[in-house]
Amino acid sequence: MFLFKVLITPRSFEKIKDKFEEVFKEEGIEVMLNPFGRVLTEEEMRELIRDVDGLIVGIDPVTSKVLKNANKLKVISKYGVGVDNIDILEAKKRNIVVTNTPGANSNAVAELTVGLIINVLRKINLSDKKTREGRWDRFIGNELSEKTLGVIGTGSIGRRVIELLKGFNLRVLCFDKYPDYEWASKEKVFYVTLDELLRSSDVVSIHVPLTEETYHMISEKELRMMKKNAVLINTSRGGIVDEDALYRFLKEGRISGAGLDVFEKEPPQNSPLLQLDNVVVTSHIGAHTEEAVANMAKLAVENLLLALKGREPLSRVC
């Protein structure tokens, strides 16, 4: 007999589900996996969440409409860090515990960020594409060494990016709503205003959560401040960058390039950004490494079990 029913939506969790089979059995948990093998729609979530006690969720929508159908839900355990796909106010109203997995995927996202930076600067994707087409174009890129890096958001991912890039002897400028001057002094990096960061940086890398405050925080006004040879990297959330404005600036050569792991609408069907040679795109794979998946799954399950038992989870959002 099962004590709890749990819905698990992330597709990558399915690959490691056997590691938790014994734990779920011991705790009396009936597991329901994502039946569609993709990100679920709001309507699908509404149907699946009925009579469920716990939810381990990735980027599937957990809206007010979904939660109104969650008649037994006690905990939402986010498999990841950003909770912008979860209606936190509605969850609070219904006394549903929300948790996440901070730090579990920081290295994975930071490493992808570094890869995108070098890829965009050296035009690796473009050279690969043209070579496969039978052309031997000798593209001239830019070196990263001795340049200025601007990091927007100095949480665990932003800091890890800075750490990984230390060998390039960069001048590092940072912007954060809550600056940590002690850390900055130790790491020899500098907190500045967002405007100064944009005007001075050769590479701008975004590492903030998507909130009402950060929605389109990089739009036409901000892009206008950037150097013509600067590149923009976003491995955070798509809504932070105004994609229409970014497209215009890239198309017109008003900034040099962009590396994007995230889009405002995913998958980005018919996005004009996909047609540009100076844009490198990946399919929101920042956290998708064997190591990060294992870390996120472990913490997500621990948070879920603690909350279902009425105990304090390890990383509570609300």
Our answer to whether residue 132 is catalytic in this structure is no
Residue of 266, 311, 312, 316 with catalytic role: 266
Q: What is the distance between the alpha carbons of residues 276 and 306, in angstroms, rounded to a whole number?
A: 47
Our answer to whether residue 284 is catalytic in this structure is yes
Q: What is the distance between the alpha carbons of residues 309 and 178, in angstroms, rounded to a whole number?
A: 34
Residue of 159, 207, 237, 288 with catalytic role: 237
Our answer to whether residue 216 is catalytic in this structure is no
Residue of 46, 159, 284, 288 with catalytic role: 284
Q: Catalytic site residues?
A: 237, 266, 284
